Amino acid sequence: MKKIIVIALTLILTLTFYACDSEKKAAKDSFNTAVEELTEKNEQLDQSIQTAQAAIDVGETPLEESAVSDLEEAISNANKSKIEVPEMPDETDEINAAATELSAVDYSSQIAALQEKQKSLKDSIKQFKQLSNPTESFVIERLKTAKSIDNIKAVTEDNDPNGNLNKAGGYTACIYFTSPQVNQNEVYGEDPIEKGTDGGGAVEVYKTVADAEKRNTYLAAFDGNGFLDSGSHSVVGTVIIRTSTNLTASQQKELEKQIYDALIKL
């Protein structure tokens, strides 16, 4: 009888040992599979990060400086999210838990953010190139799409009221326009050029950002100075967008946005 009991216990212990050993082996296999999957995910994340960084390293100028910092932030967040491959734990339960945790790693949101910000940077670079000394015809075609603009006329060297066309540091193109939001009967002049910015506004094009900024600083000296105030003005690329002082502040802002959106559209 005792012999039967000993045999039974031995059999139970043996089966238990093999069962435990089998469970641990299965756990290890799951862990190793999860590690392989994580390694592949990490490689995909690293590739996305490298591609995004390369877009910055090109060093081209974007229209919006924030496009660079936004992508840098996305790269930083992606790097912080990366999970390094851990050592395999000793206990079966811990191995299974680690395998489950590793299998759940998902970088899809980080990769999507990198791709989104990278596209924004590339688009912004294209927009800056588009607004780097654009042609007169380009500006006119874009102004035609703004709903608060009607008559448009570009200056020539013969009728340029400022006498700056094609001179050193001067604009390479200057296009005046009128706006239906301004009572044209109260503005002197027969056409957009004669009315000047008072009739609606103008777009001035320069060869360089420095030239545009210099002109913008000059215009700022007259802001708020009664009849000398020519209205709002802002630099976009090498272009200055100007709107009439006869418009309200909200109308100036809206018209400027219409022109800005028209000019940057890819």
Mean pLDDT of all residues in 28-32: 89
Query: Is the pLDDT reported for residue 15 higher than 80?
Result: no
Residue 199 buriedness (CB in 10 A; 0-12 / 13-18 / 19+): buried
Query: What pTM was computed for the model?
Result: 0.86
Query: Is the pLDDT reported for residue 3 higher than 60?
Result: no
Query: Is the pLDDT reported for residue 17 higher than 80?
Result: no
Average confidence score pLDDT of the chain: 92
pLDDT digit string (tens) for 73-94? 999 999 999 999 999 998 999 9
pLDDT digit string (tens) for 207-230? 999 999 999 999 999 998 877 788
Phi-psi region of 231 (alpha: psi -120 to 50; beta: other; left: phi over 0): left
Of 78, 74, 125, 93, nearest to 23 by C-alpha is 93
Query: Is the pLDDT reported for residue 245 higher than 60?
Result: yes
Rounded Cα–Cα distance for residues 183 and 36 (Å): 71
Provide the pLDDT for residue 22.
84
